[in-house]
Structures are given as structure tokens and as C-alpha cells.
Amino acid sequence: MRSTLLLVVSVALWVRPSASSYFQVPRIHFSGMFRADSATGNNDRENYDCSEELNPSWNVNGTNEFWLTDCTVTSVVLEYGSPVTDGGQDSAIGRPIVNNINSPSAKLADLDSTQWDLTSTLYGMEMGLEGSLYGQWVPTCISRDFWFRQINDTSADRYTQTIGTQGSSRLRSVVWGALESSSALQQLKDLADATDSKELSVSLTLFKYHRSHQDDLYTYGWLMGTIGVAGDAEEPLNFVGQRVLKRVRQKDPPWDPSLSPGCQSAGGEVNPTTCAGSTEWLYAAYFSVHKAPDTDTHYATIDFGNSVQLKFDGSVCDFGTLYLGYIAASTEEPTQIAEIHYKILTTSGVFDIELPSGFTGEDSEFVVYTTLHHEAVCSADAQEGCGDTQPYIILREKPVTVWPMDDHFYRLQADSDMSSATVEMQVRRFGQPLSGCKVELRNESPEKSDPTVGLDFEYDAESDNKGIATFTFKAKEIGHPWVRYGVDGIVYAFAYCAVSCGGFAETLCEEGYTNMLAIKVWGRTEYQEPVFWDEHVQPIFSQYERLYPAMSHILRLGDYDDVTKQGNIQVLLKAMGLPFEHPSYMPVTRDLSPSRKNMILDWLKSENHYRNWADVQEKAFTAPDFCGDNFYPGKEKYHPPETLATEGLDEYGAQLEHHESSLDRTFAKHMLLAKPSPEIINMRMQLRESKAPSPFAWLDEAMLDQCNLPRDLQSALQLEFATIPLYLTSLYSIKPGHNQEVYGLIRSVVMQEMLHMAQVANILIAMGHRPIIDSEAVVPSFPGSLPGGVLPGLTVELKRASPKHVYDVFMMVEFPADNLDMFPEVGDQVTIGKFYQHIKKCIRRQEDESFQKNDDLKVKWPWDMLDPTSHLYEVTDVASAVNAVNMIIDQGEGSGRKNPYYHYNALSHYYKFGEVACKHRINTQMETYSFDGEPIEFTPEGVWPMRDNPSSESIPKGSQAYHRAKLFHRVYRALLTKLQEVFGGNSDAIDDAVYLMESMQLHAKVLMQLQVPGEPGRPEETYGPVFQYTWKDSDQN
């Protein structure tokens, strides 16, 4: 049996010039890849029970991030039926389509992962054409018309997801940039500007998703999309084509399923290479009919992006020739209109077909059909003349459609700001609004749960003169809380149907699991103060930690001590207090009820963070005033000892040398704790013998008239930033749950270095200058020297955490200026501390008016209320500028050699790193201090064996590590851009900068688990984060 596939579209269309979407011209088509790092621990109901063994599924460490990658414009359409694919004809072709370039990544979240999964909504996405247009994606479902469209190869070693899906939305708050002489972009902008909304219409089609750990493209998939003008017409957010073709299901199809359209037998199975044996072929296709501007010619524009079946390699199955036709009201026989060329990638599956002169399809339906031969069997050599043919309809237009105006999915809780939802359903007949139509809801809830238990609503409504049928859903109180299978809340789902309207006696319902209306109702958690960790917070947090282990790279949610660290409390408060649509909203799955979230927020905001009632009683005790004096003497109590006895304290086995001069014991222990590495000894000797003038010669007292504060402050900004990749790399290398004290010490320094950078920027801004950070000339490279000529003999390298690396590099970077006389080889060189002393002297030579030039553009610091020792000074005069610099000096070096603290019991950076290097807490119980207090655990096994100085050139192109490292680099560059935005006057952007830093950590920790291919003579190593300004590929393939 031989078949030829034809598309015949029976049309009953009404031209509606006011409507506008990506179906109209001009439009831009693009294709490329996407990355959806979906977490899968929450897919199994049993995983919600923390006493059961975790079933990790295929991506338990997922982050739910969504990225577009390597997407480019493939064609533009300025006139119906005439796509332009040559970049020489329009400069938009070939240019990148990007998303979230300066913001945290977009996030995917299901309505409910166990009761109503595969209903993915995209939150917090920004996208556009690089440099030309950029807008905010309105959150909506991207899993419309979910189907198994790709033929899988079951014999292949690597598994590819066969699912295809599609979603459309709008881009709001569009910002236009350079249009690069592109006619398509100029027309798109002009038409969008002429509308009230000024929005764009966008469609995404996703397919060929890679979910095998062995695949270099693991968690990546293919993507196509289209951008057009949204216009002002009232039409559904996720159904902009006005009309839809649906698959016709017949019980007894007139063909042998084992045969392909080409009469090739596949033995009852579908051939993944030729598509032989498939009976699916086509799925739902959305379309629109419209008149071309300034003509009487009508076109049907059809979106086949998610409609055509694909081979295993992602290419389109060849079903023969497709035709467009129609079925008139008086007949069931299709009338052919035109042939369709359905190679989908170039135009993202969107095709324009010219209709016959005078034909608008007002009384007709579109159909898709194929011609089949009557003969049951065709031999391989008898491809022609196998008998007569007859049309066989595969897709047929649904004459009356019902579709939600906004999203399909809602979350409700009684007695909250999410207690009700108004859902407008638009009814259309052949694309036109239909009034007086009864729309009926039919219960399709999981396990046929009764929706009236949790919702107050009516099952039917009638459409008004705009075709809108309105339903109102109000949440009922369903429990304290309502938890099923360990999951908070219950999902109610509805099919929606047009009942006996539009001249059609039959009831027409929207089909498809992911196209239904679904409402999740949460129970309200009631609680009384105080909220306890053990009873209220820990059970929720532990469940999230179990289901989303990627979070443990930032903090361990089930660990009270980790959660209650100052920085982590603030991170949680900010993330859980963000708007629901924000990409950094926590929890990323958006499945925590408002009442439970508010309970957790109250606990986080509380002063004591009680564990239980016993903790309440213990923390009610107030220590007498004298305790502070006894255990934390003032600065005047500290003085260096007269002599220093010989002691043995050295992780490398060397003896502490006798030192009789009147020196601070801390510095003696630092410099003599161990035999320095040969590199450090050689560096110090070079410094001692160097006669070259310092690049900062103006630091001499006699040359203060050479002060150049803007230049010096910009150098200081670069210095502060240069320490951040250095410290972050070591921080990232610490495995979750290991070396926690070391992790906390390094992290606290990183946060203060960010503060110092903001403080320096504020001084510059106060003087009327703009700090520069997002520049290749400013961003440091590694290995390399510190900026500005500071410690020119020190090579700063990025290495995994170790006491030796902290001792050799970190402590040298933070070396105090007050103790330079101890070491002649360092004393005449410029340290960071000495550099800041110079800046402070230069500030004092200014007038107060010098710091009053940009009062409205100051950088803010989001942690002021959390840590009183980390205050961002408002710079308004000489005194406040000096105070700001003093804070930087004190936090880095301490308050001089007599005091390692800068604020009560808050150690400065130098001494914190001393604790790590010595693996002991500092001892301040007497009038001297030393690093022989409580031991600090450090185990090399708790650190990933990252290769030193990671670079993009060292990673094989196309490998899994390459893709992961490139994602890290993308977020790093976004951080630089966001910081530049902060320094340019948008102080609120500092929050996004912090979220980007947390995102960097997630990607870095994944990288550090990917092994570098073994090389003879080298130990086992892993990859690491790439802190380069410009990504450069390796020469390897």
C-alpha cells in the first residue's frame, strides 16, 4: 500500500485586520538550542518521605534553570510567502537571539510535580535579539500540545527525549537598540510603537531534549521560535493563531500500520531513520488567515513547528507532498489549494500559503489529508500504479475553539492574597469571537478528586459579545495544612467545552493533558508565636534539601547552624520575599503555600531563631555586663610580648624559629609557621634585591602632591575585585558538608570584599566619577599580578582550597601595612594596606565639596541591617570618606598590630586566613594572641581536586565540561554587566548581582565534579570555573 501525504485545509475564516501576532508580517524566525536543567527529585511521590531511600531519577541535581544558547536568526518575512534567508538582504539574519544576559537565569516550574507534572511555566525570562531588542517574557505555559513527536532509537546507547511541545507569550517592556539597517527590525519596531501595548508576540517550540548523562549535550535540546508584533487585539496569551487544526482519530485507519507512506515494512516497529511504521505523522497546528496589506490577496499562515513528526536525528520525516485545501459546507471531499514545503527549521515551521482569488474560507474548514492506495500490499519494485487513491483526513479544523485568555495554571489559598482567580475563556467560531455560547467545565482532576471540596465555582458560563465566558474560582479552607503523598496542596483540573453553539450540535472540548485548566489549592497553615526550627521550619527545609540537592552548594537547608549564619539568613529572606515571577524566587519550584512561606519568613526575621522551647529558655538568660570585659578586652589591652618562645606548630613539620625582637606574635607565627614554598622564598629574595622604582612612587610623604584620587580609587576598585575570583575559586572547591569552618571563614571575606568594592565605588561616585568594572582592561586575568603595581612579585593563581594556598597567597594579599618593618623584603614594596594608607592621605587633602557631586547615585549594600560591622558608609565629605577607607583597612588587616579584631570579636581578613593556615582558632584569652585555640578541621578529601588556573582554552570544545564552563562564564559576564549597572546609578540592581554570584556557585560546583581526562604523570583532577573576560575556544575538537 502506497500513500502520498497532502495537507488540505478546509477553511472557514474571517479576516480580522485588527488582530496581530507572530502569524502576521513582519516576523523573525530563529533556531538553536536551549538548556533546561530540570530537577527530578520531586517527580516521585515517595521522595517526599525523608525516611525513604531517594529515587534520584535522571537529574536529581537540577537547578530548574532555562537558557537559550547558540540561537540565531534564520530568516525574516516582510511579505507573506517570501521568507528572506540571506544575511546580505537583511542584517538581522544570522544574529544571536539571547536571554537573561544581565540577569539571573529564567526558571522552569511545574504546577505540581507529582499530581500534574509536565505543565511547565517559564518565569523570569528576558529575551530578544542581541543589541537590537530585549523584553520581558510574560510567564506562561510552554508545554502546550505536549506529544511524543520524535521517533526514538531504542538500540542507541544514548537516550533522547522524544517529547515535542510549544508555547507562546508576549514580550513586555521592550527596549530597542541598534537596528543595524535591518528592514525587518525597523518595520517590527515601527508597528510595535504604533500599538498601545508596544508588545511583541513570541513563540517557542522545544524538541530533541538530551537526558543521558553520557551525552555531551546532557540537559540541552533543540529550539525554534518566531517573533512578531503583539498588537492590541484581545486574544489569548497562549493561542494567538485564532484557529487550530486537530488530529482526526479513527478506530480503523485504512492502512497497514506496519507500512510507511513509502510502502516499506518495518516489521511492526517504527524505523528511527526512515520513519517507516509510524502512524502519528502530524499533530495540532495553529493557523490564521489574513489579507496582505494594500492588496485583495488572502493568505493562510500555519505554524507546523510542533506538528510534524521527527526522525531520531531531529530531521523531519518525509511523508510525501503536503497540500493545503478546504472542505466546503456542502461536501466532505477536500479541494486542493496549494502544495506545502514543510522543511521547518528555516522558518521555524511557519508557512504562508496564498489562497485562491476571492476565497476567504468563511464557510469552510481546513483539513490535512493524505491520499492512500487501495491495494493492501505494494511490492518494493512496484512503487507506481498501485491502484486508485482516496483522500484520508489526518488533521481537521476545530470550528469552535475555547481557550483561556491568560495562563492555564493557577495557585490559590483561602484567606490570602491568592484566594481567588478570575479566568476568562475566549470562544471563537472560525477565528471570530462567538457570543451566546455555553462553555462547560468537566472534571479531569487526578484520581477524580471532587473540585467542590476545595473550590467555590460554577461549572458553566455563557460568552459575551466579545466571546468571553468568565469563571471565578474561590479557594475554600481545606485543612491545616492539606498534604497528600507528602505534597502540599491538591490539584483540580478541568477540560473546557463549547456546548451546542456556533451552529454545531456536537460538544467541542479542548483535548490534551497540558492544555487543560488546572488549579492548585493549598491548605492554610495556622501557627502561633514563637515559630520553632524543630517543629515548623526544619521539616519543610529538610524536604527541600532532599528533593533539590543542588541547593546544598549554596547552603544546607536541613542544617540549623548553616541556615542561621548571618549571610544565609539574609539570602533566604531576600529570595523568599521576591515577587512570585522573579527568576530568583525561592523555592524555585513555587510549590510552597503562602501560609507556610510566611511562617518561615517570620522565623527568619526573628531575633533568636528558636530551635524549640528549651532554646527559648536558654536564650532568655542575659549575661552580666562584666562578661564582655573579661573575655573581650579593649584594644589597649593588646600589646606584643617582650620575647617569643620557641614552639612547634606547623602542618608541614618545620620548627617555629626563635625570635627575640619585640614583634607581634601573630605575624611571627604567620611568617615562621612553616618553611615557605620555594616560589615564595624566590619572590621575597627578588623583592629584597629589586632596585626598580615602585610604580606607586607618589606614596612617599614628600610626593603627596602627586595624588590622583580618581585614578587611585579606580585601581582600588580593581584590587578589591581581583580578590573575589581568587577567594571564590577556593570557596567553590569545598565539597558540601566538608570543611565547614574553613568555608565560612572564606565566604565571610568574600562578602566583605564585595562591600569594599561598593565602598570604593561610592567614594568615586561622590566625587562625580563613574567606576569601571565591565571592561577587559579592568577585569583581572589569572595567573597574574595584582592590579596597580601592588606586590609586583606575587603571582596570584586560582587554586583549590588548602592551608598552604591560603598561607602563600591569601595572607600575602591581606598583609597589614603596620607590620612592614618586620620583613625588609616586603617593607619597601606596595601592599594593599599601604596603598589604602596613601589613598586616605590623599582624601584628607580634599575639600568637603569634592564628595558632594552625585548624591543620588550611590551604591547600596543589601546586608547593612544584618551585620553592623559591614556598614556601607554614605560618603558626603572628607570625614565620611576617611571613615569608609578606615573600614576597608580594618576589615582587611585589623586595627593595627595590637589588635587582630576590627569590631568586638570580628576578626579581620588577615587573621581569619591565619586561622585557616594554622588550622586553629585565634587565642585571645590572655593579653597576647596566638593561633593555638580550638582546632579547625580541614581534610583534603573534602575538596574537589580542581586543576590550577582553569581557562577556556584548556577545555575540549563540545565536551560536557565545555558547555558547563561556558554557562558559568555567561553568568560571570552577566555579573560584570550587572555591577556596571549598579555603579552607573541603578543601586537596586545589587540584589541581582548577589543572585548571580549564587548562580555562579551552582555552575562552578558542577564543573568541579567533571574529571579532566587522565594524563600520564598527573594526579586525578577536575575542571573549574573560568574567570576570563573573553571566552576563547581551545584548538581541540
> Residues of 685-697 as b/e, b for ≥16 C-beta within 10 angstroms?
eebeeeeeebebe
Residue 88 has what pLDDT?
A: 92
HSE on the CB side for 494, CA within 13 Å? 27
CA distance 559 to 533: 10
Question: What type of residue sits at position 256?
Answer: D
- Distance separating alpha carbons of residues 688 and 824, to the nearest angstrom: 7
Q: What integer pLDDT is reported at residue 384 of this predicted model?
A: 52
State the Cα–Cα distance between residues 455 and 475, nearest whole angstrom: 5
The DSSP result for 741-796, as a single string, is HHHHHHHHHHHHHHHHHHHHHHHHHHTT-----SSTTTS--SSBPPGGGSSTTPPB
Identify the helix (H) or strand (E) that includes residue 911.
helix 909-918
Distance separating alpha carbons of residues 345 and 609, to the nearest angstrom = 56
Q: Is the dihedral of CA 790, 791, 796, 801 positive or negative?
A: negative
CA distance readout (Å), 955 to 280, 781, 968 = 42, 17, 13
Question: Helix axis angle, 909-918 relative to 665-672, nearest 10°?
Answer: 50
59 with 42: CB under 8 angstroms? no
Q: What are phi and psi of 391, to 5 degrees?
A: -75, 140
Q: Tell me, what's the pLDDT at 336?
A: 87
Asked whether the beta carbons of 131 and 156 are under 8 A apart, the reply is no
State the pairing for strand pair 163-176/140-141: unpaired
Sign of CA dihedral 262, 263, 267, 268: positive
Q: Tens of pLDDT along 114-163?
A: 777 778 899 999 999 999 999 999 999 888 888 888 887 666 555 567 88
Q: Cell numbers for 919, please give them.
A: 588550622
Helices and strands (DSSP H and E) totals, the chain? 19, 39
Question: How far is Cα 203 from Cα 160, in angstroms, rounded to an integer?
Answer: 23
The DSSP secondary-structure symbol of 295 reads S
What digits encode the pLDDT tens for the residues 683-739? 434 433 443 333 333 333 333 347 899 999 999 999 999 999 999 999 999 999 899
CA neighbor of 1035 nearest in space, from 954, 948, 964, 959: 954
Instruction: Please state, in angstroms and rounded to a whole number, the distance separating the CA atoms of residues 635 and 908.
Output: 14
Run of H or E including 65: strand 65-77
**Position 337, amino acid:** I
* Cα-based distances in Å from 702 to 690, 705, 835, 837, 1003: 22, 8, 16, 15, 50
In this prediction the pTM is: 0.81
CA distances from 631 to 122, 555, 640, 924, 927 (A): 54, 31, 18, 8, 10
Question: 595 with 522: CB under 8 angstroms?
Answer: yes
Cβ-contact 720, 753 below 8 angstroms: yes
By the 10 Å C-beta count (0-12 exposed, 13-18 middle, 19+ buried), 850 is classed as: middle
Other beta carbons within 10 Å of 620: 8
> How many CA atoms, within 13 angstroms, populate the side-chain half-sphere of residue 923?
13
Say which residues have a Cβ less than 8 Å from residue 972's Cβ, sequence separation at least 6.
1000, 1025, 1026, 1027
pLDDT at 856: 65
Rounded CA-CA distance 869/909 in Å is: 13
Question: What are the angstrom distances between the C-alpha of 96 and each of 29, 93, 367, 773, 971?
Answer: 11, 9, 36, 24, 17
Residue range 597-624, pLDDT digits in tens:
999 999 999 988 998 887 776 666 543 3
Burial of 344 (0-12, 13-18, 19+ CB in 10 A): buried
For residue 684, what pLDDT is reported? 39
Q: List phi, psi (to 5°) of 76.
A: -130, 150
Question: What is the Cα–Cα distance from 369 to 248, expressed in whole angstroms?
Answer: 10
CB atoms within 10 A of CB 44: 18
Cis bond before residue 539 (omega within 30° of 0): no
Question: Cell numbers at residue 43, please?
Answer: 517527580
From residue 459, how far is each of 55, 419, 994 by CA, in Å?
39, 19, 47
Residue 107: exposed, middle, or buried by beta-carbon count in 10 A (0-12, 13-18, 19+)?
buried
Question: Which residues of the chain have a pLDDT value below 50?
Answer: 1-18, 250-268, 373-382, 385, 622-705, 820-827, 865-866, 1037
For 735-746, the three-class secondary structure string (H helix, E strand, C coil) is CCCCCHHHHHHH
Place of cell 549597572: 981
DSSP 923: B
pLDDT of residue 577: 92
> DSSP string of 945-976?
-BPSS--GGGS-TTSHHHHHHHHHHHHHHHHH
Q: Beta 409-413 vs 517-522: how paired, if at all?
A: parallel
Quick one: pLDDT at residue 1007? 94
CA atoms within 13 A on the CB side of 602: 15
- Find out whether 570 and 866 touch, Cβ atoms under 8 Å: yes
CA distance 837 to 824: 19
- The confidence score (pLDDT) of residue 94 equals 95
- Phi-psi label, residue 270: left if phi above 0, alpha if psi -120 to 50, beta otherwise: beta
pLDDT (0 to 100) of residue 671 = 32
Distance CA 474, CA 669 (A): 69
